[in-house]
């Protein structure tokens, strides 16, 4: 787990988004924020190198976003309805394609 987390932190360090902060962060700091369920999470990673080994500290802050859960549910419902509509349009197109093909066949 520690090996995996170390690679994620190195990845975050070299993201272009890290370079867009003004003033820029020191090269041994990385920040990230993300949504997890109904919480906004902000994390700061501090890397230090001592004796050839890289160590890191993680500071994390969580803040509940009360309306986010409802938004996620509504987005999920909207995605489901859009997929249903896509399936119905596809079926309708297939029906018209088959109907036209049969009409052409019946003409000849």
Model-wide pTM > 0.75: no
pLDDT of residue 31: 84
Identify the band that residue 6 occupies on the pLDDT scale cut at 50, 70 and 90. Answer: low
Checking if the pLDDT of 107 tops 70, the result is no
Average pLDDT estimate for 16-44? 80
Q: What is the pLDDT of residues 35-62, one digit of tens each?
A: 888 889 998 888 888 787 878 788 999 9
Q: What's the distance, Cα to Cα, between the start and end of the chain in Å?
A: 69
Q: How many angstroms separate the CA atoms of 66 and 38, rounded?
A: 7
pLDDT of residue 90: 94
Q: What is the pLDDT of residues 76-95, one digit of tens each?
A: 999 999 999 999 999 998 88
CA dihedral 75, 76, 82, 85 (to 10 degrees): -140
Q: Compute the mean pLDDT over every residue in the chain, rounded to the nearest whole number.
A: 80
Residue 12 dihedral angles phi and psi, to the nearest 5°: -65, -40
Checking 70-76 for CB contacts under 8 A at 24+ apart, the result is 72/38
Interacting residues of 65 by C-beta distance below 8 A, sequence separation 6+? 35, 38, 39, 40
């Amino acid at each position: 787990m520690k090996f995996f987390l170390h690679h994620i932190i190195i990845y975050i360090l070299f993201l272009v988004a890290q370079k867009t902060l003004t003033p820029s962060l020191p090269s041994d700091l990385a920040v990230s924020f993300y949504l997890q369920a109904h919480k906004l999470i902000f994390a700061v990673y501090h890397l230090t190198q001592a004796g050839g080994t890289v160590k890191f500290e993680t500071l994390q802050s969580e803040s509940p976003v009360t309306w986010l859960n409802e938004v996620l549910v509504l987005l999920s419902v909207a995605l489901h309805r859009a997929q249903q509509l896509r399936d119905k349009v596809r079926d309708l197109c297939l029906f018209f394609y088959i109907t036209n093909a049969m009409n052409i066949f019946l003409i000849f």
